Structure 1
Amino acid sequence: MLTKMIPEIGHFALVIALLMAFFQAVMPLAGAATRRPLWMAFARPMAAGQFLFVVFAYLCLTASYMLDDFSVANVANNSNSMLPWYYKFSAVWGNHEGSVLLWSLMLAGWTFAVSRFSRNLPEDMVSRVLGVMGMVSTGFLLFVLVTSNPFARLLPSVPQDGADLNPLLQDFGLIIHPPMLYMGYVGFSVVFAFAIAALLGGRLDAAWTRWARPWTNIAWAFLTVGIALGSWWAYYELGWGGWWFWDPVENASLLPWLAGTALLHSLAVTEKRGSFKSWTVLLAILTFSLSLLGTFLVRSGVLTSVHAFANDPSRGLFILALLGITVGLSLLVFALRAPRVGHVVPFSWMSRDALLLINNILLVIVTVTVLLGTVYPLLLDALGLGKISVGPPYFNTLFVPLTVILCVFMGLGPSSRWKRMSARELFRRLSLAGLAALVIGILAPLVVGGEWNLWVSLGLVAALWIVLPMVRDLFDKIRQAGSPSAGLRRLSLAYWGMVLGHLGVAVTIIGVAVVSNYTVERNVRLAPGDSVEVAGYTFTMNDLRSRRGPNYLADTAFIEVSRDGSSRSFTMVPEKRLYIARGMPMTQVALRPGLFRDLYVAMGEDLGDGAWAMRIQFKPFVRWLWLGALLMAAGGILAVVDRRYRLKRQPQTSQQAPSTREVPA
């Protein structure tokens, strides 16, 4: 009897969580405004209670999936009794209602983490931060309960079995990609809350950036990994062999990442020099607003994509209203408070301060470029002005040159000094690195690939220009310390995080440049006994079999692969599956991964007489795309564990001198 009531219990838990989020939003903010400690004390217990009840509600929905309770509409539409248990577990967030509940769970988790790890912050600041996060939680829990109830019943007409999970989502990628992406999306709510709290409290100084910076790094690292996982998933799941399609939903995740990258650098300048305060607050608002915009695009029904959920206009209208309220109120608070609490810190245009500002401006320009290409077609359609499609040519034409310019300033940054330095000194530091990057970048394609390509050389020059000045800066720091061991001990974890992050960008650029220009692809007809040569490898189909999986039928090809001039061989096994419940065909790609190349085989259509269409690809350096993203994320996490973020500190006021310790960007 109790198991039949699980959905109602979960729904009731969400209602209680909504009430707690509302009190978390109202009481602490009112207490901070009127200086009433008792009201401010509501913040932490309400955050903990909200988190516990949302967790309980989420577990109730998970239990409904595991128990095959097809009286719940969400389960009936997205699961099946034949679905393996691990896909039932991930199917909870493989749909609109469940994904919004996961978003609310992540938001409650971030809120609880802030309440737990902010014991050393002033009570009024914590109250404002948790109050702002409570307002966001209230909006999303209302969205779940009013328009996207995951516990809605199909009574009395309960189906005998479910419609099954979309075959595109029956993959390991669904298990890890959305949680990582959502952790990044939602994590930016923390720095947004800190920024608004600093404005409300009149504490727009370097202290709030020091409190907010670790949370921003963690959120950025999660989003970086989430985007990389999405790219990897699309690469091997869709059967096209591409790693980025400029799909509007892909762009929706890239937008907050670009703005968040600018925010990371701006926070570093504000913490170190006390400058760019208003700009940093604006970037915090922009980054979280773009996270909400991504939610609107994916869940409003305005986009048609393999990534998109929901087709109900009322849901899109609700999120659009939530986005408008969040952006409108935050900009209103900024307009009213920023002029009163901010002040200008002078700096020279020949300094690290100026280079980071230019870096920020370029990142914002790139963000706006992607935003316009993503949203402009939607606006035209909504206004009845016709339908247009903005695809890769637009994005590549604008994104690539802007990225190259951005790389120029990334190379200059680590070798420059705060406040002021001479152009002659900067040239002296960078001339050798620049010459080496130019020579190696031009000659490397000839030596490695045997065929010179302008775009590959440009990518290598840009990547080396990022890396070599950092190497020079590292040797300078070690030399100044007198010995390698002493020099390495003096370097902070935040510095190493900066090095890893920039190295990751360089590795990704090399991967993009090489795989985009040196990929070899052939579409061929193969039957048992047939062979074909691609990029120095011979592919021979030895066998073709049929088999039955847990919830699908599959045609499986066994392809022996050998390299020209080598006696060693290996077997690749691509499949063409037909999922029974939905009658939907899917391609299961065969991959032979390697650090310097991937071999990629995808089955196409049955051509009759035992022959199949096959797409065979040789993809050099494609793994470097995701290796670079992992290095970037590792750099973000490494910066968080720096010693200065573990020390107990008294609040720093705007009159206190900023720290003289090196704060890498």
Structure 2
Amino acid sequence: MIAELGLAALWLAAGLCVLQLIAGAAGARSDVQGALSALVRPAAVVQGVLLLVAFACLLRVFAVTDLSVALVAANSHADKPLIYRISGAWGNHEGSMLLWVTILGLCSALVALFEQRGEQRFIKAAMAAQGFVALGFYAFLLLSSNPFERLDPAAATGAGLNPLLQDIGLALHPPTLYVGYVGLSVAFSFVVAGLLTRQAGPDLARAMRPWVLAAWIALTLGIAAGSYWAYYELGWGGWWFWDPVENASLMPWLAATALLHSASVLAARDALRTWTIMLGVVAFSMSMVGTFLVRSGILTSVHAFAVDPERGAFILGLLTLYIGGAFVLFALRAGALAEGKRFATVSREGALVVNNVMLSGILAVVLLGTLYPLLAEALGTRVSIGPPYYNPVTAVFAVPMLLVLAVGPLLRWKRDNLRRIAVPLVLLGAILAASITIVVVFTGAGVLATMGLALAALLALASWLPLAGRRITRVPLPLWGSMLAHFGIAVSLAGMASESAFSTERLVAMRAGDTVSVGPFEARLEAVEPVAGPNWTALEARVAASSNGTGATLRPQARTFTEPQQSTSEAALLTRRDGQLYAILGDAAGDDRWQLRLWWKPFVTLIWFGAILIALGGLLSLIGHLRNGVRRWKIRDAMARRRAERATA
């Protein structure tokens, strides 16, 4: 009965979504504010509760391995550890889409509960737009991807979850990314509401900025988790390969970064109105494009669950409806939007515009590189686009963006003069020149790695320069968040450049007792022995690694899973402050020898440590903006009460 309860809750939630759409649309009309429009908030809240019930039911049938449910039989097995039985609920197409809709419904409920003080016509229009977005996904789930479909008779055993997904990183990575995607849907709904009600000023930016920030934080953490999972789980030793599925998560992050800065300008200075509206549409467009790429079956990937062309066509139809409709609405209403305040080229707004243009350029490069091979293959030609295209072409936009990022926070709003910040500019220029000289003379790194290291040093210093002349206790929390996020970018960039420039690799065939040097380590193969896990067997190598009198044992494995039958490589990592030693066990090479691949990756962990700093900076900014919003509404309420008291006096 658990599956039937979940399906019933899903149908009821879909019905309430229709009510939310109708009631919100009624409330968006200035001449209709009656009982119907008052139902929009209760409908959204109850809908969120029902979706939680539906998803809890899905978790339950996976936890107990109910093989009478088709989705469980196809994606789970009783012998799996509990954490992977539960994560199997979203490690498939239907479950992942139910997770998407659940997060979407919870966001609608949060909007209904907490967005109480804004202009009611605008909020109800936003909730109608949110209902319209959700309705398409409800139709997709209930008509073509029912997660609660029964098997009669029940399966004798489950097929199991893809072994590559049986990892704690992949248990957390998809839900985190989905929070980011769905957060952008809320920003999209606010943008649509702004176009419908012709309210595209600072209040719009302040309303959607917390949602964009929350989405951006989640995307940052989700991408970092996915990158680290691919790094240690796939066994190829890299942290980013410009795979289309990787790009599908990167593109919304790029658009959200641009939107976040543009919304900040609109909120603070009432400028960039049209640009902010457009970026709101583009950001959600990128999340929909990513959903289409991963769920349509046109990609062959561990993430690409859907292989049914009809499902792909359904998602493509949703993408066309939502994004095409939003762009048509933008084209019809953009001319009627007020221009907003103007600013000089040399100003903080000007710097933010430059960076947004550069981010848009990187987004265009990634989008073209992702879609072109798919288009070429559809026309009968197989094309591969990888790092030789992405790395130099994105650098064309990234380098000036990072240079402006270092200077922009030092500029004043509206109008400034570079002579005013001559001393910081000279200091930053000296740091950049010295960094390039040191890297070229002492390391011999390539051009891109040299620029990466130099820009990392530049940005690490520049991130904290806005503190100059300020009392620490009076620095606003959003500014602390901005500085920490920018410093995190410098840290990640240093890790990327160091890993690219200084990594060393050894591929050897070793007998027990043989020793090989890699980086600062001496690695000795002690033995290769069989081991067993809860649902796998493996050959495990014991590798003793020592450096400067200290040592540790690495245990890379070659695993074989039974349900489903698949072999995987489990990397062993030895982490130090200055990098990681990375080991992979290969096949037997004859004569009692084993293939062993070893990497020394200097400062590679800075990539993910920097991502954590970026997310923490975003969290500080989010808390600061929420506090400011509460304070602003309290002031408005107090002023409104005073006006009412004077009017009745």
Task: Give yes or no for TM over 0.5.
Answer: yes
Aligned residues: 633
Q: Write out aligned runs for 1:27-426 (5 A).
A: 27-33=23-29, 34-156=31-153, 158-382=154-378, 384-426=379-421
> Secondary structure at 1:38's aligned position in 2?
coil
What residue is the counterpart of 2:531 in the other structure?
Answer: 547
What's the counterpart of residue 655 of structure 1?
none
The residue that corresponds to 2:560 in the other structure is: 578
Q: Deviations over 1:247-278 (max 9, x none)?
A: 00100100010011110110111111111101
**Aligned partner of 1:459: which letter?**
G
Paired residue secondary structure (1:646): helix
Higher mean displacement: 437-446 or 498-507:
437-446
**Does 413-422 or 642-651 show the bigger shift?**
642-651
Residues 1:445 and 1:73: Cα distance change in structure 2 (over 3 Å): farther
Whether the 8 Å CA contact 1:415–1:470 is kept in 2: the answer is no
Secondary structure, counterpart of 1:101 in structure 2: helix
CA deviation after TM superposition for structure 1 residue 583, in Å = 2.1
Write the letter of the residue equivalent to 1:575: Q
Is contact 1:522–1:617 with CA below 8 Å preserved after alignment? yes
Whether 1:433 and 2:455 are equivalent positions in the alignment is: no
Shift of 1:570: 1.2
Match runs of 1:395-544 below 5 Å = 395-443=390-438, 451=444, 453-475=446-468, 477-478=469-470, 487-544=471-528
Partners of 1:437 and 1:468 within 8 A in 2: no
Aligned residue number for residue 644 of structure 2: none
**How many angstroms does 1:473 deviate by?**
2.8
> Does the CA-based 8 Å contact 1:446-1:452 persist in structure 2?
no
Partner residue of 1:602 out of 560, 570, 584? 584
Contact in 2 for aligned 1:122/1:651 (Cα 8 Å): no
Contact 1:296 1:316 in 2 (8 A): yes
Aligned to 2:571: 589
Paired residues for 1:6-25 under 5 Å = 6-25=2-21
Q: Provide Cα deviations, 1:620-645, integer angstroms capped at 9, x if missing partner.
A: 11111111111111111111111313
Q: Taking CA–CA contacts closer than 8 Å with sequence separation of 6 or more, which of the two structures ends up with the larger relative contact order?
A: 1
Q: Distance in 2 between matches of 1:269 and 1:127?
A: 25
> Could you say what the CA RMSD is over the residues aligned between the two structures, in angstroms?
1.7
The one of 610, 623, 642 equivalent to 1:641 is 623
Q: TM-score, normalised by structure 2?
A: 0.95
Q: Deviations over 1:341-370 (max 9, x none)?
A: 322422111111111111111111110110
Q: For 1:311, give the aligned amino acid.
A: V
What TM-score, normalized to structure 1?
0.92
Distance in 2, matches of 1:547 and 1:650, equals 63
What secondary structure, in the 3-state scheme, does the structure 1 residue paired with 2:464 have?
helix
Q: What SS is found at the alignment partner of 1:641?
A: helix
Superimposed CA distance per residue, residues 200-219 of structure 1 (whole angstroms, 9 cap, x where no aligned partner): 11211111101111111111
Give the conservation status (yes or no) of the 8 Å contact 1:239–1:588: yes
CA distance in 1, matches of 2:606, 2:167: 22
Identity, % of aligned pairs?
40
Structure 1 651/45 Cα, relative in aligned 2: closer, same or farther at 3 Å? farther
Deviation for aligned residue 1:340: 1.9
How far the C-alpha of 1:582 sits from its partner, in A, is 2.2
| Distance in structure 1 (CA, Å) of the matches to 2:65 and 2:340 | 61
* Counterpart secondary structure, 1:42: helix
Q: Deviations over 1:427-453 (max 9, x none)?
A: 343112221232134315756xx5555
Structure-2 separation of matches of 1:385 and 1:165: 33
Could you tell me how far apart the structure 1 residues matched to 2:635 and 2:366 are?
39
In structure 2, do the counterparts of structure 1 residues 61 and 473 end up closer, same or farther at CA, with 3 Å as the change threshold? closer
Separation in 2, partners of 1:349, 1:651: 34
**Greater Cα offset, 603-612 or 184-193:** 603-612
The answer to whether the 8 Å contact 2:274/2:337 transfers is: no
SS at match of 2:540: strand
Cα deviations by residue, 1:226-255 (Å, 9 ceiling, x for unpaired): 000000000000001100010001001000
The one-letter amino acid of 2:562's match is: I
